[in-house]
Amino acid sequence: MSYWWLVVVISLLSYLLTASLRRYALANSIIDIPIARSSHSVPTPRGGGVAIVVSFLLALPLLGWTQAVSLQTLLAVGGAGALIAIIGFMDDHGHIAARWRLLGHFAASAWALYWLGGMPELVLFGVTVNLGWVGVVLAAFYLVWMLNLYNFMDGIDGIASVEAICACLGMCLICALSGHSGLVLLPLVLAMAVAGFLCWNFPPARIFMGDAGSGFLGIVLGVFSIQAAWVSSQLLWAWLILLGVFIVDATFTLIRRLVRGDKVYEAHRSHAYQFASRRYGGHLSVTLAVAGLNLFWLLPVAMSVVMLGLDGAVGVVIAYVPLVVLAFKFHAGELEKVDTK
């Protein structure tokens, strides 16, 4: 059965829903007002990421009915993603204490891992490793970090959308060329849902994603990577490589802020991409640079891992070294006053 019509419909639906959400946000004053720690200067509606959530989730029953995707995978992705989106939506419209948000994040991660069957054994530097329950715990923390880092990295126009589209389409290409065509459909549908939203979020953004959308993308991409690991350990490493820009910037920034003794739960704008956007006077150049890094650096490394037999862990190291250099160059995690031309 051909699903090309579905991805077109999903993209169009996301586009129209984003337009409706923008009107709703403007009518109800759901506006992101710039403050000293903001990376934007114009009041902008927020919460448009709900269009991504709704468009993607509406496709899942059809994929289940046609048996294009297993029921366990649909429950893992749909259940975890929906819970995170609900938590983010509530936080967008009010405030949820950090401890309750975190509890919800771990509950969603546990739900996903239950339906996926936990964490499979991995090949690490040529050695097959089965961590058992330790692996499940580490996977839960990984999913929680993925959804939170995606929220942290959604700070300038278009960057979170571009990262998701590049990672999903990159993995679609890798899976199609390597004979894992069964793993193509879900990332493709997600990429098209994000593409519809990106039409409104591309610099200069007319609406922001909000926590509901960014958290949803983070955990769904994390679940995709663990689902792929059950097919091949190399595919997990490929996902980690393709998401390298976000993983390195967010993790590097968090570590430096922890070492400095900052309150890491407080808002800030000390990520490398935020320093870069201020240095170059806008969001567009940085968002396009992220797309370029994904297309011309991370995608070839990920393809080498899956298709040329490069060890996955070695591939991650190779892919991340230039990203760490860029994190240093753009002062990730440093105080804002360090950023000078």
pLDDT > 70 fraction of the chain, expressed in percent and rounded: 95
pLDDT reported for residue 338: 43
- Distance, in Å, from the CA atom of 227 to the CA atom of 116, rounded to the nearest integer, reads 7
* Average pLDDT, integer, range 90-100: 83
Residue 204: asked if its preceding bond is cis (omega within 30°), the reply is: yes
Pairing of strands 122-124, 44-45: unpaired
The rounded radius of gyration (Å) of the Cα atoms in the chain is 19
Number of folded domains in the chain? 1
Nearest to 148 by CA among 77, 197, 82, 88: 88
The model's confidence at residue 1, banded by pLDDT at 50, 70 and 90, is low
pLDDT category at 35 given cuts 50, 70, 90 is: low
Residue 340 pLDDT level (bands cut at 50, 70, 90): very low
Residue type at 42 in one-letter notation? V
**pLDDT at residue 260 above 90?**
no
Query: Distance between CA atoms of 164 and 162, rounded to whole angstroms?
Result: 5
* CA 231 to the chain's CA centroid: 21
Q: Is the pLDDT of residue 4 over 90?
A: no
pLDDT at 339 over 60: no
Return phi, psi of residue 31, to 5°. -125, 140
What type of residue sits at position 144? V
User: What pLDDT does 8 receive?
Assistant: 93
Q: Provide mean pLDDT across the span 271-275.
A: 94
Q: Which of 80-94, 173-187, 220-234 has the lowest mean pLDDT?
A: 80-94
pTM beyond 0.85: yes
User: Once rounded to an integer, what is the mean pLDDT over residues 249-253?
Assistant: 96
Write out the residue range of the structural domain in which residue 16 sits. 4-338
Q: What is the 3-state secondary structure (H, E, C) of the chain?
A: CCCHHHHHHHHHHHHHHHHHHHHHHHHCCCEECCCCCCCCCCCEECCCCHHHHHHHHHHHHHHHHCCCCCHHHHHHHHHHHHHHHHHHHHHHHCCCCHHHHHHHHHHHHHHHHHHHCCCCCEEECCEEECCCHHHHHHHHHHHHHHHHHHHHHCCCCCHHHHHHHHHHHHHHHHHHHHCCHHHCHHHHHHHHHHHHHHHHHCCCCCCCCHHHHHHHHHHHHHHHHHHHHHHCHHHHHHHHHHCHHHHHHHHHHHHHHHHHCCCCCCCCCCCHHHHHHHHCCCCHHHHHHHHHHHHHHHHHHHHHHHHCCCCHHHHHHHHHHHHHHHHHHCCCCCCHHHCCC
Q: Compute the average pLDDT of residues 3-32.
A: 92
Indicate whether 112 pLDDT > 60. yes
Q: Which among 189, 142, 147, 143 is positioned nearest to 169, based on CA atoms?
A: 189
Q: Which residues contact 53 (CB under 8 A, 6 or more apart)?
A: 81, 82, 85, 212, 213, 216
Q: What is the mean pLDDT of residues 291-309?
A: 97
Is residue 74 within 8 Å of 60, Cβ to Cβ?
Answer: yes
> What pLDDT is recorded for position 341?
37
Q: How far is CA 36 from CA 23, 41, 145, 263, 333, in A?
A: 26, 9, 26, 17, 17
> Which amino acid, one-letter code, is at 106?
F
Residue 111 has pLDDT above 50, yes or no: yes
pLDDT digits (tens, 9 = 90+) for 210-241: 999 999 999 999 999 999 999 999 999 999 99
pLDDT band at 182 (very low <50, low <70, confident <90, very high): very high
* Token pair belonging to 306: 């899956």
Q: How many CB atoms lie within 10 A of CB 300?
A: 13
Instruction: Report how far residue 9's alpha carbon sits from residue 19's, in angstroms, rounded to the nearest whole number.
Output: 15
Strand 122-124 and strand 127-129: the pairing is: antiparallel
Please give the structure tokens belonging to residue 24.
Answer: 């709703």
Average pLDDT over residues 143-167: 96
Structure tokens given for 26: 């403007």
Model confidence band, residue 36 (pLDDT cutoffs 50, 70, 90): low
Q: Stretch 202-212: mean pLDDT, rounded?
A: 93
110 pLDDT higher than 80: yes
**Neighbouring C-beta atoms of residue 166, cutoff 10 Å:** 22
* Predicted local distance difference test score (pLDDT) of residue 252: 95
